[in-house]
Copies of this chain bind each other. A is one copy, B any other.
Amino acid sequence: MSNKINKVAITGGTHGNELTGVYLINKYKKNPDLVKRDSFKTLFMHTNVGAMKKCTRYVDKDLNRTFIKKDLVNDALYSYEDVLAKSINLKLGPKGAEKTAVDFIIDLHSTTSDMGLSIVIDNDNRLTWQVAAYLKEMEPDLHIFRWRGDTKEVSFVNSITKDGFAIEVGPIPQGVLRADLFFKTEKLVAHTLDFFEKYNRGDLHKVYETIEIYDHIKLLDFPRDKSGELNATVHPNLQDNGYYKLTKGDPLFITLEGEVINYEEEKDVYALFINEAAYYEKGFAMCLTEKKVIKI
Contacts and interface: CB of A to CB of B under 8 A. Distances in A.
A177 B281 contact: no
Contacts of A119: none
Contacts of A281: 55
6 contacts: A26-B256, A27-B257, A30-B256, A112-B176, A174-B277, A183-B258
Contact of A173 (B173, B179, B182, B256): B173
A120 interface: no
A148 interface: no
A249 interface: no
A176 B55 contact: no
Given A173-B173, A178-B275, 15 more contacts: A23-B233, A23-B256, A173-B176, A173-B277, A174-B174, A174-B175, A175-B278, A175-B280, A176-B280, A178-B239, A179-B235, A179-B236, A179-B239, A180-B239, A182-B256
- Copies, count: 2
A229 interface: yes
Residues of A contacting B: mostly: loop
A178 B173 CA distance: 13
B230 A23 contact: yes
Interface of A: 23, 26-27, 30-31, 55-56, 112, 171-180, 182-183, 229-230, 233-236, 239, 254, 256-258, 275, 277-278, 280-281
A122 to B, nearest CB: 24
A280 to B, nearest CB: 6
